[in-house]
C-alpha cells in the first residue's frame, strides 16, 4: 500500500495534475474575484469565506477524472483488482494521494490567498482548520464519483454532475464556519458537522467506490 501511495504521488507530481493545476486555478479565481466585484474591502471581506471554499472545491475537482482513468487505460487497475490488496484499500490510498497532492497545498495556500480577499484576521485559523477537516471529504467523495464513471469515454463531465451535489454539505458547513469566525462568533457547530461528514465519507465511501469499480471492471 505504501508503494502504491508513493507511485500515485509521483504520477500526480510528474503529470502536473496535483500541485500545479489545483493551486493555479485557486490563485486565478482569487485574483479574478476582486476584479469582478470591485476592490471594496468590506464587500470582499463578506464574500471571502464562500469564495475561498468554492475555489478549494473546484480546484479539488479538476484532477479527479484522472484518479482511476489512467490506471484503467494501461491495465493497472485490473492488476490491482486481482492483487492481495483489498479494492477498498486501493480506493482509500488513491484518495489519500489526491488529498496530499491537491488538498494539502490548498490548505497551506489558503491563508496567503485570503489576504487578497481581505478576510478578517480572526477567521484565518478557522479557515485552515475547516479546509483541513473538509478537503479529505472532497477527495473521498471525488474518488467515489471517479469510480462510478471509470471506463466511460468523456466521463469527466458526468463525474462532475454526480459529485458536485454531494459536495454541497461540505461547502456549506465549511464556508459557514469561516463566516462565523469572521463575525467573532463560535464556529464549533459547523466544524463538528464538517468533521462528521469527513468521518462518514472516509468510513463508508471506500466500500461504495470499490463496489462500483468491481462492477465496471467486469
- Report pTM: 0.91
Residue-wise pLDDT for 179-195, tens only, equals: 999 999 999 999 999 99
If pLDDT is split at 50, 70 and 90, which confidence band does 207 have? very high
- Higher pLDDT: 215 or 15? It is 215
Q: What is the pLDDT of residue 144?
A: 94
Which DSSP string corresponds to the chain? -HHHHHHHHHHHHHHTTTHHHHHHHHHHHHHHHHHHH-S-HHHHHHHHHHHHHHHHHHHHHHTGGGTTHHHHHHTHHHHHHTSSS-HHHHHHHHHHHHIIIIIHHHHHHHHHHHHHTT--GGGHHHHHHHHHHHHHHHHHHHHHHHHHHTT-TTHHHHHHHHHHHHHHHHHHHHHHHHHHHHTT---HHHHHHHHHHHHHHHHHHHHHHHHHHHHHH-
CA distance 50 to 180: 12
Residue-wise pLDDT for 23-73, tens only, equals: 889 999 999 998 998 888 889 999 999 999 999 999 988 878 778 877 787
Amino acid at each position: 500500500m505504501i508503494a502504491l501511495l508513493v507511485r500515485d504521488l509521483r504520477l500526480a507530481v510528474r503529470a502536473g495534475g496535483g500541485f500545479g493545476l489545483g493551486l493555479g486555478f485557486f490563485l486565478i479565481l482569487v485574483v479574478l474575484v476582486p476584479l469582478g466585484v470591485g476592490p471594496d474591502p468590506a464587500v470582499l471581506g463578506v464574500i471571502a469565506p464562500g469564495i475561498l471554499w468554492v475555489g478549494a472545491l473546484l480546484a479539488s475537482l479538476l484532477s479527479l477524472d484522472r484518479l482511476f482513468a489512467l490506471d484503467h487505460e494501461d491495465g493497472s487497475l485490473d492488476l490491482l483488482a486481482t492483487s492481495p490488496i483489498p479494492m477498498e484499500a486501493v480506493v482509500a490510498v488513491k484518495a489519500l494521494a489526491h488529498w496530499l497532492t491537491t488538498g494539502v497545498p490548498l490548505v497551506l495556500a489558503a491563508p496567503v490567498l485570503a489576504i487578497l480577499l481581505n478576510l478578517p484576521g480572526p477567521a484565518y485559523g478557522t479557515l485552515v482548520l475547516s479546509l483541513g477537516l473538509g478537503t479529505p471529504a472532497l477527495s473521498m467523495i471525488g474518488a467515489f464519483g471517479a469510480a462510478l464513471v471509470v471506463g466511460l469515454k468523456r466521463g469527466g463531465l458526468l463525474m462532475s454532475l454526480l459529485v458536485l451535489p454531494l459536495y454541497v454539505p461540505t461547502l456549506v458547513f465549511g464556508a459557514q464556519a469561516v463566516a462565523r469566525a469572521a463575525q467573532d462568533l463560535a464556529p464549533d457547530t459547523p466544524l463538528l458537522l464538517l468533521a462528521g461528514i469527513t468521518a462518514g465519507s472516509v468510513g463508508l465511501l471506500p466500500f461504495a467506490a470499490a463496489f462500483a469499480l468491481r462492477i465496471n471492471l467486469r
